[in-house]
Amino acid sequence: MATTGKVIRCKAAVAWEPNKPLVIEEIEVAPPQANEVRIKIVATGLCHTDLYHLFEGMHKDGFPAVLGHEGAGIVESVGPGVTEFQPGDKVIPMFTSQCRECRFCKSPKTNQCEKGWAVDRYDVMALEDTRFTYSKYLVNTCFRIFFNQNLMSFRFSVQHDGKESRFTCKGKKVLQFMGTSTFSEYTVVNQIAVAKIDPAAPLDKVCLLGCGICTGYGAAVNTAKVEPGSTCAVFGLGAVGLSAVMGCKAAGAKKIIAVDINPEKFEKAKVFGATDFVNPKDHDKPISQVLTEMTNGGVDYSLECTGNVGVMRSALESCIWAWGVSVIVGWTDLYDFAARPIKLISGRTWKGSSFGGFKSKDGVPEMVKAYLNKKVKLDEFITHNMSLVQINDAIELMKHGKCIRTVLSVSP
């Protein structure tokens, strides 16, 4: 490609500070270095985790940043040492790495990786070093790029008048959110965090497999290990919760109770396999009691997909006391969660799930195949299609519960 080996100027939606609208800026993306892949992002979903960082987490060291972590695109160029990918490949950048070499990657017990961005800075949701720069400040400078392969980290510096200094924009670096930053026309990602997918896959659909759908579906199938004939309850009917419903159905659950305070979501939940629907606002007793009475002692499996610590406890207490399994899926790091010990001593299991337990580079291509073979739904999640310049409109829709998934067209 004509851009190979060159710095690319492109548009990106930058979050300059928390709780403020994103701004479409022109940034510069350097060529890929050793073990890196530069990707032209074609489409990206807007996930609630983006909103969490912007409006809830609001970590002081997490801004400015280019958000987005649920995208799909085409390989533009690769750096030295990359043999798995070549220009033109369709790929999904992953926020969960899979190096295939560390003790976590070699273990079937987890999908975590010791070389991912979250090892040291999960609370900030971005490494301190960045691959993005704001092009307004790139004048009469030359790049010097430092790469730490073990931590997937990058550092930009500039040589100007014989002195080295950090690249800044308005005095600040622009961070790469969750190692991906799909709200940019181009991004650079380490090859251990890129999944090569079927060339027949429509990027404006399979981009959703970069986070939400795999997260919910896998929480049911991989983490909870829902069994045929079982009874399940899913708390929260956003894209992750609806994916969990879909996973429960795929696993053969006979009764799937969809729980949400927005009854408008119940019809959509039925599409994915929900059999019963409960709005906690319709009852004057705890939701755990309601579900216990509905199911002769509690559900076999419950999946919490809201990121609310109170709901996490309710989901646990909705499980049958002798063998129930409750899975925490919703992302949050703001508050402690709690339950009385007897709730677990009696036989319940309380566990967490990240990215649905999928090992990213292995699992995502398989999910893409499942979609192409009509075994997994994706189109039904998409309620709105917009362009990147409409990102703030998409955010407003999600903030007010007016969408399931908005897919943004990124590169022209």
Q: What is the pLDDT of residue 118?
A: 56
Q: What is the pLDDT of residue 125?
A: 47
Q: What is the dihedral of CA 406, 36, 126, 66, to 10 degrees?
A: -40
Is residue 295's pLDDT more than 80?
yes
Encode pLDDT of 142-193 as tens digits. Answer: 333 333 333 333 333 333 333 322 223 444 577 887 888 999 999 999 999 9
What is the pLDDT averaged over residues 47-65?
Answer: 78
Question: How large a percentage of the chain has pLDDT more than 70?
Answer: 85
16 pLDDT band, cuts 50/70/90, is: confident
Residue 78 Cα to chain centre, angstroms: 24
Encode pLDDT of 325-350 as tens digits. Answer: 999 999 888 789 999 999 999 999 99
Is residue 367's pLDDT more than 70?
yes
Q: What is the pLDDT of residue 18?
A: 86
What is the pLDDT averaged over residues 106-127?
Answer: 72
Encode pLDDT of 195-232 as tens digits. Answer: 999 999 999 999 999 999 999 999 999 999 999 999 99
Q: 309-317 vs 287-294: helix axis angle to the nearest 10?
A: 30
Q: What is the pLDDT of residue 183?
A: 94
The residues annotated with a catalytic role in the active site are 47-49, 69-70, 99, 102, 105, 113, 144, 211, 405
Mean pLDDT of the chain: 86
- Judge whether 72 and 207 are in contact, CB under 8 Å: yes
Encode pLDDT of 237-285 as tens digits. Answer: 999 999 999 999 999 999 999 999 999 999 999 999 999 999 999 999 9
- Judge whether 370 and 143 are in contact, CB under 8 Å: no
Q: What is the pLDDT of residue 153?
A: 36
Q: What is the pLDDT of residue 136?
A: 54
Q: What is the pLDDT of residue 145?
A: 35
Neighbours of 149 (CB within 10 A): 15
Instruction: Give the sheet arrangement for strand 153-160, strand by strand.
Output: 142-148, 153-160, 163-166
pTM: 0.87
DSSP H helices, 18-79, are 48-51
379 or 143, which is more confident? 379
Q: Is 39 helix (H, G, I), strand (E, B) or coil?
A: strand
Domains of the chain, CATH where assigned: 216-353 (3.40.50.720)
